[in-house]
A and B are shown apart, each in its own frame.
Chain A
Amino acid sequence: MLGHSKMTTAGFDVAIVGAGVVGAACALECARAGLRVIVLDRDPIGGGTTGAGMGHLVVMDDSEAQFALTRFSCSLWNERGVELPPEVEYQKCGTIWVAADEVEMAEVHRKQDFYSSRGVAVEVLDYRQLAEAEPNLREGLVGGLLVRDDSVLYPPCATRFLIEKAQQQGAVLRLNSTVASLGSHGPVLSDGSVVSAGITVNAAGISSPQLVAGIEVQPRKGHLLITDRYPGFLNHQVVELGYLKRAHSVTSDSVAFNVQPRKNGQILIGSSRQYGNREKGIDALLLRQMIRQATEYMPELKNLSTIRAWTGFRPATRDNLPFIGPHPNNENICLATGHEGLGITTSLATAELLVDQLLKRPSKIPYEPYLPGRSGERRADA
């Protein structure tokens, strides 16, 4: 689509709306490809969903398309790991999926087959190995699955790093710019001015449906809690397997045990999911449920001091897959949105797949499953 009539001489080749992790990754990929790119945001870098999230880089297995995207993106992060500055707090700590009973242990073995047959390094832990890996887990758990190459990072700093790298390669960043709509010649700002661009990328996350008609992205509220520093308390990102059963429920509020070690010894405690709740405030009842769930798995968490709790909104799609590619009804507009709780993980792959489509380059994984016009957006886990 670029390189033809859409290429403008006066303005930018690409205008990206949204300086979250997805917009930042897209900006860098565009700049690396030699495109003239501008990033616009009303708020600071990573000030929306990005800054509210945990920063778990995780290979998921809930559908082949989700697996392909998360795996490709995790490999991109791991390649880039060495060049990430210390403030990004990148740490290849691995994920442990915890099985509380025999049914969940069967799921551990199913996951082991799934991952290992696709070349992902995993290891089944029995109850003893689990206790050794995470001594603060309660007794009586059955086992778990360790996914070695999963990692964690601090999303706002990772996003700033991507933006700065893009700027070094010529990208322009304009914050405090509220985009009112997406015109056919580029984004229209709230003061009526137009940022002239051949292609506009809607990377506005939960705000993306307000900028363009015809896409369904719903905010899915989450709570997080962070403790003071307790180095050595937790070694891996640890997630209960029950999480998978509940996290994708579209109908009800849910909480799940999901904890993450930060490099400085702080521990992030999650998680919750709520549909149809647009209140930014903390839901004390749900927070209490979340803490109860966490202390059920890790009783010693009760004795740690927490210093802050907050909420955020994940941009969710109906089939749990993001939208990456041209808008079905307007080829001047591309989408890079709807990443739900996986935007940090899948940002780098999203950027590659988007620029592959813009430049008609061959892509490393098929991009069709993430096209905005995909058939009926049926649930991917069906």
Chain B
Amino acid sequence: MPEFVTIWINGSAVRVPAGTPVSIAVLMAGHSEFRRSVSGEPRGPLCGMGICMECRVQIDNQAHCRSCQILCQEGMTVRTHD
């Protein structure tokens, strides 16, 4: 298992330690706003344990993925504001 993996967040390469949750990688890349609510409010990770649904992003073209529950894999593509 490599020590680091590279994932793509909104088109930019981000290198993170293997085993990092996607939510942490997105934060490390400087994004605190993961998505917008129906009424347009900014949203980001809250519970960190897959319950609150606030940290949803698009991962490998799949919308509404809970980024705190998914670990970064080499080559993964992530989009905020799906």
Contact = CB atoms under 8 A, between A and B. Distances in A.
A272 B54 CA distance: 31
Size band of the A side of the interface? under 10
Interface string B34-52: 0000100000000000000
B63 A228 contact: yes
A264 B63 contact: no
Q: Which of B38, B56, B62, B63 counts the most chain A CB atoms within 10 A? A: B63
Nearest to A228: B64
Interface in B40-76: 56, 62-64
Nearest to A264: B38
Contacts of B64: 228-230, 304-305
B56 to A, nearest CB: 8
Contacts of B63: 228, 230, 304
A264 B36 CA distance: 13
Interface string A242-280: 000000000000000000000010000000000000000
A375 interface: no
Contacts of B38: 229, 264
Nearest to A266: B38
A304 B56 CA distance: 13
A9 interface: no
A303 interface: yes
A304 B63 CA distance: 8
Residue of A230, A264, A304, A305 with most partner-chain B CB within 10 A: A305
A258 B32 CA distance: 39
B55 to A, nearest CB: 13
A228 to B, nearest CB: 5
Interface of A: 228-230, 264, 303-305
Top 5 closest A-B pairs, CB basis?
A228-B64, A305-B64, A230-B63, A264-B38, A303-B62
12 contacts: A228-B56, A228-B63, A228-B64, A229-B38, A229-B64, A230-B63, A230-B64, A264-B38, A303-B62, A304-B63, A304-B64, A305-B64
